[in-house]
Amino acid sequence: MSDEVIGRSVQGRPITLVRIGDPAAPRKVLAVGCIHGNEPAGRGIVGELMRASPAAETQLLLVRDMNPDGFAHHQRANAHGVDLNRNSPEHWAGAGAGARPWSEPETRAIRDLVLREHPTVSLYYHQPFGLVDVPEGGRPAVARRYSELVGLPLKRLARRPGSITRWQNVQVQRGSAFVVELAAGPLAPELRLRHVAAVLAL
Per-position DSSP letters for 32-47, written without gaps between them: E--SSTT--THHHHHH
Residue 138 and residue 177 in contact, taking contact as beta carbons nearer than 8 Å: yes
Integer Cα distance of 183 and 71 in angstroms = 18
* Number of structural domains found in the chain: 1
Element (H, E) at 115: helix 105-117
Integer Cα distance of 89 and 76 in angstroms = 20
Res 160: pLDDT: 86
User: Which domain range does residue 86 map to?
Assistant: 2-201
Q: Residue 8 pairs with which residues in a beta bridge?
A: 14
CATH of the domain at 112: 3.40.630.10
What are the pLDDT tens digits along the chain (202 aa)?
Answer: 768 999 999 999 999 999 999 989 999 999 999 999 999 999 999 999 999 999 999 999 999 999 999 999 999 999 999 999 999 999 898 888 999 999 999 999 999 999 999 999 999 999 999 999 999 877 899 999 999 999 999 999 988 899 999 999 998 888 899 999 999 999 999 999 999 999 999 8
Tens digits of per-residue pLDDT, 110-154?
999 999 999 999 999 999 999 999 998 778 999 999 999 999 999
Integer Cα distance of 68 and 84 in angstroms = 12
